[in-house]
Amino acid sequence: MASIHDVAKEAGVSVATVSKVINHYPDVSEKTRKKVKHAIARLRYRPNVIARGLVTGRSWTVGVLIHVPFTNPYVSMLLEGIKTALEHSGYDLMRLSARLNDPDYSFIDHCQSRNLDGVVVFGVEKDHRSIQELIQSGIPTMFVDTDATGLRAGNITTDNRNGIRMAVRHLFELGHRRIAYLAGVSGQDVNELRLAGYREGLEVFSLPYRADYVADGDYSYDSGIRGMNMLLDLAQPPTAVICTSDMAAFGAIRAVEARGLSVPGDISVVGFDNIFEAELFKPRLTTINQNIHAIGVKSIEALIAMIKHPGDPPPVLTEPSSLIVRESTGKAKDA
């Protein structure tokens, strides 16, 4: 089995230079870096992770806590981005399970016992006890879609408000004046930002905000059915509905069809996420695109930067959103 000394001899460099390349130090020329990598490949050298950790003071492992059902298509796209970013980073990934509702459970102990260098968190609200402990602990952390920050904690999210405003504009330009909103979980950062975008969008076009046109949900298919049925039961139903997720939009469309109505003939529906299934669903879903894969990639890139440069301020990143127009929206019947 090849050693680090064999690699250094093969590449014609010092052992220290090989160590710098393995540990991704920036002060190595690209020419030298390539020589070392070629030597590692030729000799099939595999660094000793334990020894590497003793030298660098790192475990070279980051954790990901996703407190959302893994059946959610958003989760698989986010994880794919995370895996892409980790492929050539030198870091391994550990999926974390957490008993966040157990008062005797410490998520910090969970992370520290595994000697994690950093954590990515998705689906847990910033006011949760465990999240506040994590922020205070100093463990480098990137939150996805949660507006939480700290001395060593940053976050990344989509431009949620502008995404919903674009949806309102699109529907208004199609002649819709009775535009409803199928919301997510009340109190969650993402839901509150999107709801704010909905209200702002209505205000731009001097459309009244109606509390009965906002149906609570939880981003799921079933909540889309429930919310749309509630809206359809109103004395004056909306002609268009913006949903806080694509899955909820799919449910909303099926609820419309179950009433013998059509999308977009009778009611237009807009989703949010642009998951893969949005292109395949019938009718093809008009939706707000958030680059979920890029969010996964950038969350890891930002986390590793925090680990490597502990003195730098943690990043707060916003990924732009865009409107994807497909078949589920059309002109209002009374336009």
Tell me the pLDDT tens digit for each residue of 106-148: 777 778 777 889 999 998 877 878 788 888 888 999 999 988 9
Identify the CATH class of 4-56.
mainly alpha
Can you give the pLDDT at residue 159? 96
Which class is domain 160-290? alpha beta
How is residue 315 annotated by DSSP?
Answer: P
Its CATH class, for the domain covering 61-158+292-317, is alpha beta
Q: In this structure, are strands 179-182 and 214-215 parallel, antiparallel, or unpaired? A: parallel
CB count within 10 Å of CB 281 equals: 19
This prediction has a pTM of 0.80
Number of residues that make up the chain: 335
Residue-level pLDDT at 47: 65
Distance CA 304, CA 302 (A): 6
Give pLDDT tens digits for 201-236. 999 999 999 999 999 999 999 999 999 999 999 999
CATH topology identical between 61-158+292-317 and 160-290: yes
> According to the model, what pLDDT value does residue 50 have?
43
One-character DSSP codes across 193-235: HHHHHHHHHHHHTTPPP-GGGEE---SSHHHHHHHHHHHHTSS
- Band the pLDDT of 178: cuts 50, 70, 90: very high
Q: Rounded to whole angstroms, how far apart are CA atoms 192 and 188? A: 6
DSSP conformational letter for 177: -
Residue ranges per domain, the chain? Answer: 4-56, 61-158+292-317, 160-290
Are 207 and 174 within 8 A, CB to CB?
A: no
| Residue of 70 and 159 predicted with greater confidence | 159
